[in-house]
Every structure is written in C-alpha cells, then in structure tokens.
C-alpha cells in the first residue's frame, strides 16, 4: 500500500470510529503561542453520550483486532507510519503554529514517531511479547499427573490515551502510548490535547485511513475533543476502558489515577508526571581545566534550555562540589546563561506557571541567582534562569524539590559523598539520574548508585538526560511521582507489555487453543517449552 499525500482539510470535528462527528459543546481553537492569536478551525467538544459512541465502538473492535495475525498487524502499524510520514511539511507547519516549537525539533519528532511505529511492527512480527510458554503434560507422574498448561499474554482491551502538551507528535495522537497499545492489540480512544487540535486531527486521520485500508473494524481508533477535566474523568471511568496512558502534570495524572481506582472494576493508569532529573558532578569531571569546565557548563545550559526546557527529562537540579573547581563551574554557568535567550513556550498558561515557579524558587531563603538569559522575541518566551543553594537548604526546604516545567534549574553545592547520599535519599521518584565522573571518581560514586536505583528509572553517565533513545532496552519511567507505576516504561518496546495480561490454558483441546500456544506454532513464535527457550529461526 502507498501513503496518501493529498493535503488534509481540517474539519474541527472528532473522529469516532472513522466518522467525523461534530461535538455538542463549546468550540475551542489552537493558539499560536508566539502571538497568542487563535488558529482556525474551531473544534467542537463532544459530550459524554458521544464519548460512549467511541468507547462502544472500541469494545466492538476488540475481538477482531486483538486476534490479528502478526503480518497483518505489523503491516497496519507500518501503514500508519507511512501515512504520517506522507503528511510532511503540512504536519510540521501546523505543529509549529500550534506549539511554537522549531521546525528541526518537529521534523525530528515526526521521525521518532514513525520510527517507533516501525520498531513496534518488527516486534509484532517477531512475537516474543506474546509470552508463549508451554509445560508439557506427564500423565504418569506420581502422585498426581502433570497437566498440560500453556500460557500467553492477551491484550487488556480498549485503552484511553491522553495527548501530551510538550510532544505534539511523539507523545500524542500516534505517540508512544497509542503505538504500544495498538501493537499490543488494544483499540485506542485518544483524547486530543486542546493546545494542538489541528496537529492531532492530521495524525488522527492518518491512523483512520490506515484502519480503513486494512479493512479493520473502525472502532480500532477514535480521536475525541472534549473539556479536559470532565471528559477525561468520564473516559477514565468508562467501564469499557481497560487501561489509561497519560503524560502531563502531576495533578491531572493523580486525578485520573483516583478516577480509575474508584471504578467498580479498577484499571491501571500509566501516567508520566513529574521529574527534576538530578545530575551529580564529581571532582574528576571538573578537573579538566577551564575549557573543559566551560564546555560542561555550556552543555548543561543547552540541556536546560532545549525546547524552552519543556522536556520531561530536563535537568532541573545539579549537585556541584564546593571548592575552586565547583566555583569555576558555577561561574561558567552564569556566563553561559547570559548568552541564552528565551524560546516560545507551548502555551500562555505554561509560561505563566513557569513564571510563578521561578518567582517562588527565587524568593526562598538562601537561594541565589547564578545567571539569567534574555527574554525572547514574541509572547511567552521568558528568560532562562539558574539559581543556587546549599545541600542543607535543599534538605530543609521542599520548595527546592519542586519541578519547574521550563528553562529553569537549581545548582546545589555539596561538601562530600555523605552530603550526596543524604540529598539523594530525600529525592522523590525521578525519570533520570545522571553522574559526571572520571575513572578516579568511581569509588566515591559507587555508594550513590544503589540509592539512585531506588529513585530513578534511568541512570546515565557523562551525558545529559534530555534525549530518550527509542529501543528495546530503554526505560522511561520511575517511582512516583515520575510515573504512577515504576514497573513500566512509556518509551521502547517494553511499553507494549503494559497493555497485556497473562492467561493460562490447562488441558484445553488443541482445537480450542489460540494460535500462539498451539502445538503446530502457526505464528512461528519463539516459545519457552518446559522452561527451555525454543527459537524458530
């Protein structure tokens, strides 16, 4: 099949099981955050009865979609990727207008979006995520015969996914949560983020076209626009929905968690919420001389200010040793900060929240200004800023632990490894933790690693946490409040397993067994038989 390349006319309507549906509620528009000007068309918001149409269609789609043969399933995901790729400049231009993000960032994000779909397609073909296990029977075993037991993982059912404000492509309509749910075999009801409705519609139609091209049940995917709080709560509470994927604020994520837990039949919420991503600089990393220190400071500011700091892995906290080398780094940070100008933030409300957070942090006792950049052109482009404090102040003041979503960071000065261990022990759950070390720092840093394992989902060395590789080994998760379930990841192929559950089949006749555990292995899967992995090719 080939992707569609004709320009897509935006309708301002939801897509419910393949149909354009006008909402009964008020109308909202996207806004260009660099000017605060409204963008056409207006999008009408649906009500709860219309939401029920989407979830009902997803329930109807589940039986057939959850049992797709691997090749058809994988080809469908690849078609979604091809359709999104074919949108090209049209998609980039709309996303730029709605988010203020630069062209290069959005082109890269589109590439990440389609590449993860293709990666998941390869996983679907390979099939290990299905978890096929067979324990062969032994009717002669004494004192009791050993039964024939076979196990596989099945899709949970329809999944609700909420679009993220800061990634209009990679964590939105066809982003990681949607892609992994579809790869698992779960229909998706997607709640568009009202800050980038046009971008969401373009991608939503690309998915809908792929559903139609493969003659799948149209309820496999629906895209809805609705008032965030009420329709979001209704979606998480709908008895058809079996899991939720969410990326956003802690308040909204916790609200969804409460709604899902209060249901007659509770369901999991996989929410990525809040992280300040601590970075720990050791003496050796600062011993390379002035140019090395300046380079390190510049790289830090680049990570803090990239995409106006609106990245879930932005380093909001850096621990720096006291002494001359640490002083030189802090001075270099101040100089580097002065050279950065503000970038347009995603929305006016996000910029206002950033300003409030910066004002609160700067007003705390003992917190000092390290450096501030300049305000950017246009609206909603505040100057990036870095503050400093001592470890004692960090330990005593919970305000210094709070995330500021945007280009702001706090340098904390420490006196030794005991300071670091105390501070790390007080951290909330994080997506990442970073060590800057040389060979001579390994013994000093070693006690910190097991502490960080309990605090973060990804530990990295001699780099910066922004930039998340999409692959098989990646973990983009962490203990609460980084995520609602520290056992999972929202990035990488392991993300598929969030939307599956194991089922065992004991002594079922061969004719009644699903394909992954049939003796003939018609899907040609790698399987574990009596504890031993059997590879097919």
Cis, peptide link before residue 41, omega less than 30° from 0: yes
Whether 484 and 257 have beta carbons less than 8 Å apart is answered as: yes
Collapsed DSSP state (helix, strand, coil) of residue 31: strand
DSSP bridge pairs for 189? 160, 222
Instruction: Write out the catalytic residue numbers.
Output: 272, 312
- Strand ranges inside 122-258, DSSP E: 133-135, 149-155, 159-162, 188-191, 221-224, 243-247
Q: What's the per-residue H, E or C state across 75-123?
A: HHHHHHHHHHHHHHHHHHHHHHHHHCCCHHHHHHHHHHHHHHHHHHHHH
Token output for 295: 């380079």
CA-to-CA dists, residue 17 to 60, 170, 341, angstroms: 10, 22, 45
Are 173 and 200 within 8 A, CB to CB?
A: yes
Q: Note the residue count of the chain.
A: 537
Q: Which H or E element spans position 197?
A: helix 197-213
Burial-class residue 297 by CB neighbours within 10 Å (0-12, 13-18, 19+): buried
80 upstream amide cis, omega within 30 of 0: no
Return the structure tokens found at 54. 């989407």
CA 56, 57, 58, 64 torsion-angle sign: positive
Give me 400's structure tokens.
């210094």
Q: How far apart are the first and last CA of the chain?
A: 28
Residue 321 in tokens:
């040793």
């Amino acid at each position: 099949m080939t992707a569609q390349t004709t320009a897509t006319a935006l309708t301002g309507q939801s897509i419910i099981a393949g149909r354009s549906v006008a909402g009964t509620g008020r109308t909202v528009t996207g806004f260009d955050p660099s000017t605060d000007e409204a963008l056409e068309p207006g999008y009408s918001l649906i009500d709860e009865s219309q939401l029920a149409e989407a979830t009902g269609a997803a329930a109807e789609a589940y039986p057939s979609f959850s049992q797709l043969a691997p090749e058809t399933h994988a080809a469908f995901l690849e078609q979604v990727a091809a359709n999104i790729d074919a949108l090209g400049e049209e998609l980039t231009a709309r996303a730029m207008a709605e988010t203020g993000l630069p062209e290069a960032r959005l082109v890269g994000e589109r590439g990440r979006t389609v590449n993860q779909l293709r990666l998941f397609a390869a996983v679907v073909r390979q099939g290990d995520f299905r978890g096929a296990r067979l324990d062969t029977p032994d009717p002669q075993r004494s004192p009791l015969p050993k039964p024939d037991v076979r196990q596989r993982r099945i899709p949970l059912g329809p999944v609700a996914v909420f679009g993220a404000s800061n990634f209009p492509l990679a964590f939105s309509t066809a982003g990681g949560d949607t892609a992994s749910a579809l790869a698992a075999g779960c229909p998706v009801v997607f709640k568009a983020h009202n800050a980038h409705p046009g971008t969401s519609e373009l991608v939503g139609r690309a998915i809908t076209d792929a559903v139609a091209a493969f003659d799948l049940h149209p309820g496999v995917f629906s895209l809805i626009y609705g008032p965030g709080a009420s329709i979001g709560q209704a979606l998480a509470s709908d008895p058809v929905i079996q899991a939720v994927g969410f990326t956003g604020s802690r308040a909204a994520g916790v609200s969804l968690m409460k709604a899902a837990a209060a249901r007659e039949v509770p369901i999991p919420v996989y929410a990525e919420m809040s992280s300040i991503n601590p970075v720990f600089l050791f003496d050796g990393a600062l011993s390379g001389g002035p140019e090395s220190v300046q380079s390190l400071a510049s790289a830090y500011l680049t990570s803090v200010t990239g995409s106006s700091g609106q990245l879930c892995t932005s380093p909001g906290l850096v621990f720096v040793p006291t002494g001359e080398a640490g002083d030189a780094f802090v001075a270099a940070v101040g100089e580097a900060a002065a050279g950065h100008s503000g970038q347009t933030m995603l929305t006016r409300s996000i910029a206002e929240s950033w300003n409030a957070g910066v004002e609160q942090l700067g007003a705390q006792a003992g917190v000092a200004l390290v450096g501030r950049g300049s305000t950017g052109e246009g609206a909603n482009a505040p100057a990036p800023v870095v503050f400093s404090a001592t470890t004692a102040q960090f330990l005593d003041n919970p305000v210094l632990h709070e995330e500021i979503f945007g280009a702001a960071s706090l340098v904390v000065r420490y006196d030794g490894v005991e300071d670091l261990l105390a501070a790390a022990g007080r951290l909330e759950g994080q997506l990442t933790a970073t060590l800057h070390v040389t060979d001579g720092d390994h013994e000093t840093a070693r006690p910190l690693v097991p502490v960080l394992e309990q605090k973060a989902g990804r530990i990295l060395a001699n780099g910066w946490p922004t930039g998340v590789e999409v692959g098989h080994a990646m973990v983009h998760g962490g203990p609460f409040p980084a995520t609602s379930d520290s056992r999972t990841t929202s990035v990488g192929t392991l993300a598929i397993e969030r939307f599956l559950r194991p089922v065992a089949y004991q002594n079922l006749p061969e004719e009644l067994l699903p394909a992954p555990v049939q003796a003939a292995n018609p899907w040609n899967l790698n399987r574990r038989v009596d504890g031993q992995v059997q590879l097919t090719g």
